[in-house]
Amino acid sequence: MISIKSKKEIEIMAEGGKILAKIAGELVKRVQPGITTKELDRVAETLIFKYKGKPSFKGYEGYPKTLCVSINEELVHCPPSERKLKKGDILSLDIGMLYKGFHSDMAFTLPVGKVSLEAQRLIRVTKKSLKRGIKKTKVGNTFGDIGNTIQRYVESQGFNVVRELCGHGIGRELHEEPRILNYGKRDSGPKIKEGMVLCLEPMVTIGDWKLKKTKDGFGFQTQDSSLSAHFEHTIAVTKKGPKILTNLE
C-alpha cells in the first residue's frame, strides 16, 4: 500500500531534505583527484550527526557505511574504501538521512576533474531524465508515465536505462511502496495521488543495462564495464505539482 503523508509530515521531510541537500553540497566541494572515498564518507557522517540526523544506509541490511560511492562502471551501493579518486573518473554519491522520524534520499553523479565528452554527456542526459520524470509526477498521472518518459528520453540519446533497480516510496521507512521503474508504458500502474512522497532515481548506462554484483558484495556494476550514472531526488506530490525536497540548486 502506498502511504499518504500529511501536510505536517511533508513539512518535516522538507526540512530534512533541505539539510541533506546542504550536506550533499559540502561533499561536492570536496570531490577532487587524490581524495579517498572513505574521507568523503567521514565528512558525510560527521555532517549528518551535526544536523541531528542519523545515516539512513548505515546498518541497513548490513550495509557498513553512511555513503554509497560508485565509480565509473559501478552504479550503486558500493561502500567507501581507501580507493583514491583519479582525474577522469565519474563519481556517483548516494546519501540518505533519518531526521525527526522520516528519511530523505538523494544521489548525483559528478566528474572528477576533466572527463571525456562521452562521460559528460552521460551525466547530462541522466540528470535531464530525472527532471523529465519529475515533471510527470503529478496528481492523476501514473507511475508508468514516469518510467516511460525517462526511458524514451534516455534511449533517444543512445543510452540505456537499468531495469534491475528502481526508485521507491519513502517516509518513516527508507524504502516504501511503490517500486518506481525507469521504464514502462504510459497509463500503466497506480495513479499518483496528492501526499505521496517518492524517490525517483534514473540509472543510465552507456552500454548494456545488465548488471552484476561488485566484489564487495553490496554494490552493482555494469556487466560490460561501461560507464554508468545515477541521479535521485525525494519528491512530494502536491496539488500544485511535484515539490523537490532535496534540491541542490
Based on its alpha-carbon atoms, the radius of gyration of the chain, rounded to whole angstroms, reads 17
**Residue 10 grid coordinates:** 511533508
CATH architecture of the domain with residue range 7-244: Alpha-Beta Complex (3.90)
Separation in Å, CA 233 to CA 43, 156, 230: 21, 23, 11
pLDDT for residue 12? 98
Quote the pTM value: 0.96
Query: Which residues does 212 contact at the CB level (< 8 Å), separation at least 6?
Result: 220, 221, 222, 223
- Residues 144-158 have pLDDT tens digits of 999 999 999 999 999
Domain boundaries in the chain? 7-244
Q: Write out pLDDT tens, residues 35-81.
A: 999 999 999 999 999 999 999 999 999 999 999 999 999 999 999 99
- pLDDT, tens digit, 9 for 90 and up, residues 101-141: 999 999 999 999 999 999 999 999 999 999 999 999 999 99
Q: Which residues contact 171 (CB under 8 A, 6 or more apart)?
A: 3, 5, 9, 13, 102, 103, 197
DSSP character at residue 111: E
235 close to 137: Cβ distance less than 8 angstroms: yes
Give the pLDDT confidence score for residue 248 in this predicted structure. Answer: 81
- Write the burial class of residue 106 (CB in 10 Å: 0-12 exposed, 13-18 middle, 19+ buried): buried
Query: Mean pLDDT over all residues of the chain?
Result: 97
Kindly state the DSSP code that residue 206 receives in the 8-state scheme.
S
Is the confidence at residue 84, as pLDDT, over 80? Answer: yes
